[in-house]
Every structure is written in structure tokens, then in C-alpha cells.
Amino acid sequence: MSKILYANGDSFVFGMECIDHYDKTPANKEFAFPKQLADLMNIDTHINAAYNGATNEFIFRNTLLDILNFEKQGYAPEDVFVLVGITSLHRIEVDANRFFEQIPKDFVNKKVINDPMFPVEYHKYGTMFVNPGFGFGVNHYETNTVVNVDQLINPWCSNYIWTEKVQMLSQEARILSLHEILKAKGYRHLFVNTVCSLERTKNIDMSNKNFYKLETDSFYHWAKINHPTAQRKFNHFDTATHKAYAEDLHQYILKTL
């Protein structure tokens, strides 16, 4: 039996808005589906390393490095259950200093940093996650300066890199390599989609039991159909929805893993 449930992913794995509309605080993690799944599996320790807005590359990178750290700390692979929430392909991690340097430093340090929309990943990594739905921007009226991801980042990414041609093979390689590493090391694990299904893949065997409905479903899609009234203002879902999804995952794990 596993002693730790380790989860990584985006805002859906984080549990954003479980507590209330707009709520992005880490307290949401206690209500998100990974925690609910840990409870159902009678796993005492639950580590949720998800970030709101995380990219697939970030999720892959930190899952791998966290797992290797567990090993260094002496945990046996069979003690850890790994749950990876795969997010949408159209996300990017940019150098946040290069974004904020365009406005006066004092204003950033005194005002912008306290904005509830401020990207928390900046504090630890110096970066900022950007996706088409993240309309973060800063207006500095005194210098008549406006910096906005919708103008500075999203158009270029949408045009040149947020296409399946560029993204799909990279994502397939991440999933396949992480799965092979976890399998070889003896970690029980499950990959789920959080935003959209991974259609049109050429290299992933979707019958693999560690890939939960990757070709056909996602947490968001499932929640929209089964709990439409539970959707929050920022398009996430309440605790009851997370609990119900965890129950589905638990049944799947009991039957197949």
C-alpha cells in the first residue's frame, strides 16, 4: 500500500476555486481531487505540487525531479503513488523579469506583487506561466505604460508555437518517457487529462492502463457534463465535483492498477 500520494499538474490539480469563486490560495489543495483520492486510498500523506497555470513541461520537469528527490530521501518507489494531471498544449513559461522590467520596479514591488492575479511561480522560479485564458496585465498610469500578456506574448505564441505540429510530439515524448521511468523504478502511477483530451496522437498506446482516458476525456470535460452548475467564475469547479471525480479515479485504480 502506498504511503504518499504525490500529485503534479495545473490549476485543476491544485484545486483552484474549490473553496470559492476566484480563490487561488493553497488551501484549495485540501479539497482538490488528488487529496480526495488520497483519502479514498487510505494514504496519509498527500503532496500536491501543482501550480495554477503550469505548463506541461513544468509539470513533467518537477514531477521527475521531485521523484528523484524522494529517492534521495530514502523513500521506496512502492511507497509513492504518482498522479500526473496533463494540461493543455497551449501554455508557455516565460522570463517574468523580462515582462516586469518594462514597468517601474518600485511599482512592481509595492503594488503589482500584491495583485491576486500575480503569478506566484515568479517567487520561486522567476518565471510566469502564460496561456490564452490568462489575461494578466499591468497599467502604470504615471508613465503611461501598459504591459499585457494578451498583447506581448499570446499573439506570437498562437501564431508560431501553439500548434499541434510543434506541441504534440514534445508532449508525447514527455508522457512516454515519464511513464517508462516511473514503470522501471516501480512507482504506481496514473496520468489524467485536466483540460482537454489528447486526440490525434500517433505515438501513445491509449490502451495502457496508466493512461486514464487520455484520448477521450479530461477532468474539465467530465465536470462540465456531470456537474455543470458547479462551475466557478474562473471556470474551475467546487469540492463536490472534485470528490466525485476522485471516486471515479479510485474505482478505476481498484479495477485496473
Partner 1 sequence: MTKLFYTNGDSFVFGMECIAPTNKSEENKIYAFPKYVSNHLGAETYVNNAYLGATNDFIYKQTIIDLLELEKAGQDLSEVFVLIGWTSLNRIEIDGDRWYSLVPGAIEYLENNKNNPEIPAEYLDFGTLFVNPSSGQQIDSNDKIYNTADEVLPFTVQYLWTDIVQQPQQYARIIALHEFLKAKKCKHLFVNTVDVMHDTFELTATNFYNLHLDSFAKYAVSNYPEEQQEMYHFSKIPHEAYAKIIIDYIEQEKLS
Footprint of partner 1 on this chain (CB under 8 A)?
A: 57, 60-61, 64-65, 68, 92-95, 97-99, 125-127, 152-153, 156, 159-161, 163, 165-166, 169-170, 172-174, 176-178, 180-181, 183-185, 203
Q: How far is the CB of 165 from partner 1 (least distance, A)?
A: 5
Residue 182 or 249 having the CB closest to partner 1: 182
Residue 201 or 218 having the CB closest to partner 1: 201
How many CB atoms are located within 10 Å of the residue 27 CB? 11
Q: How far is the CB of 231 from partner 1 (least distance, A)?
A: 32
Q: How far is the CB of 96 from partner 1 (least distance, A)?
A: 8
The answer to whether the beta carbons of residues 10 and 87 sit under 8 Å apart is yes
- The residue behind cell 499541434 is 164
- The residue behind cell 486514464 is 212
Q: How far is the CB of 164 from partner 1 (least distance, A)?
A: 9
Q: How far is the CB of 30 from partner 1 (least distance, A)?
A: 28
The answer to whether the beta carbons of residues 53 and 158 sit under 8 Å apart is no
> Can you tell me the distance from the alpha carbon of 52 to that of 23, in angstroms, rounded to the nearest whole number?
11
Per DSSP, helices labelled H in the chain are 11-14, 33-40, 56-72, 96-100, 105-110, 121-125, 149-152, 154-160, 164-185, 219-226, 239-256
Q: How far is the CB of 82 from partner 1 (least distance, A)?
A: 14
> Can you tell me the distance from the alpha carbon of 235 to that of 137, in angstroms, rounded to the nearest whole number?
20
Residue 176 or 244 having the CB closest to partner 1: 176
The answer to whether the beta carbons of residues 188 and 81 sit under 8 Å apart is yes
Residue 7 or 67 having the CB closest to partner 1: 67
Residue 151 or 226 having the CB closest to partner 1: 151
The answer to whether the beta carbons of residues 53 and 129 sit under 8 Å apart is yes
Residue 92 or 195 having the CB closest to partner 1: 92
